[in-house]
Amino acid sequence: MANSKSARKRIRTAARNFERNRQYRSSSRTLVKRAELAILAGDQDVAQAAVSSAVAALDRTASKKVIHPNNAARRKSRLIAKLNGMGQA
């Protein structure tokens, strides 16, 4: 347990930030999963819309420093590669 006043405050701050960041992280994961399922379903229009919303959510999450920008870029790249490979599969 923290002994100093500032350490106790950091624990409270970290808990508050964790709760706020969890919403962004969870929603972006959900949208990425929906996009991947839409790609597997094979409907091009639905998949395009789902990928677009997932990319926007990842950008929003990265801009708020919830995830690292490179992490968001990697996830977007993989998602778009799956979308582009949808026609060949």
| Averaged pLDDT, 22-32 | 97
| Averaged pLDDT, 14-19 | 96
Per-domain residue ranges for the chain?
5-84
Residue 89's pLDDT band, with cuts at 50, 70 and 90, is low
| Averaged pLDDT, 1-21 | 94
Superfamily of domain 5-84: Ribosomal protein S20 (1.20.58.110)
Rounded alpha-carbon distances, angstroms, from residue 37 to 44, 65, 67, 72: 12, 27, 23, 19
Helices (H), the chain: 5-41, 44-63, 69-84
pLDDT tens figures, 46-84: 999 999 999 999 999 999 999 999 999 999 999 999 999
